Amino acid sequence: MTKARFAGCVLLGAMCLSTAQADEWKMLPFKDPSWSPDFILAVTAGELDPDVDGVDSGTAVGAQLSLNCPWFEPPKGAIRQQFNYNSFDENGLEITTLEINPRYYMGEGDLTFGVGPGLGYLWAESDAAGVDTGMWALQLGADVEYRMGALYLGAGTRYQLTQDEELGATGQEGVDNWLTSVKLGINF
């Protein structure tokens, strides 16, 4: 990942989270007896489109665990911490990602919309190279969620920028990718 792309992603993430003055934010909301994590556990499925020569987009499946942020609470909306696992296997390329994607959610009632940055780690294995390559990644994404009782439905998209690690002997550096997925889960 180039320094310019990294700086742009960090700047955009900071802008997403700077929605109010610092003195209006609640620090460590988990200390408040009325705070609830509002856990959600969901299965995910969607299309991952890697920026890798000779590899087509394909199905990615995974899981997501999310909760209200225990560290910061904005004066409006909510920050939710999303932990994602994704798996992809197409045209001889296997990708597995672990990500944390905090989202600032806006909206009232059952339907909300969130945006935010993320940090992840990606493992890639190319059949052509025959070796595993691991690399750090940054994400920027948006999600929409609908909750009704215990039912959770969602959809999201994110772009992931990876380190420019060489993918074995293929000459490919990095595995930047788009992922758009739907989510079905349970509100706890």
Would you state the pLDDT for residue 82?
A: 97
Would you state the pLDDT for residue 54?
A: 84
Between CA 59 and CA 21, with CA 8 as vertex, the angle to 5 degrees is 110
* Per-residue tokens: 161: 């920028």
Radius of gyration (C-alpha) of the chain in whole angstroms:
18
pLDDT tens, position by position, 98-121: 999 999 999 988 999 999 999 999
Taking 50 as the pLDDT cut, the residues of the chain under it are 19-21
Between CA 171 and CA 178, with CA 174 as vertex, the angle to 5 degrees is 130
Would you state the pLDDT for residue 3?
A: 52
Q: Return the CATH number of 3-97+104-187, one of 2.60.120.10, 2.40.110.20, 2.40.160.20, 1.10.10.10.
A: 2.40.160.20
Would you state the pLDDT for residue 20?
A: 42
Compute the distance between CA of residue 107 and CA of residue 147 in angstroms, rounded to an integer. 12
pTM of the model: 0.83
Would you state the pLDDT for residue 11?
A: 56
Identity at 181, one-letter amino acid code: S
Ordered by start, the domain boundaries in the chain are: 3-97+104-187
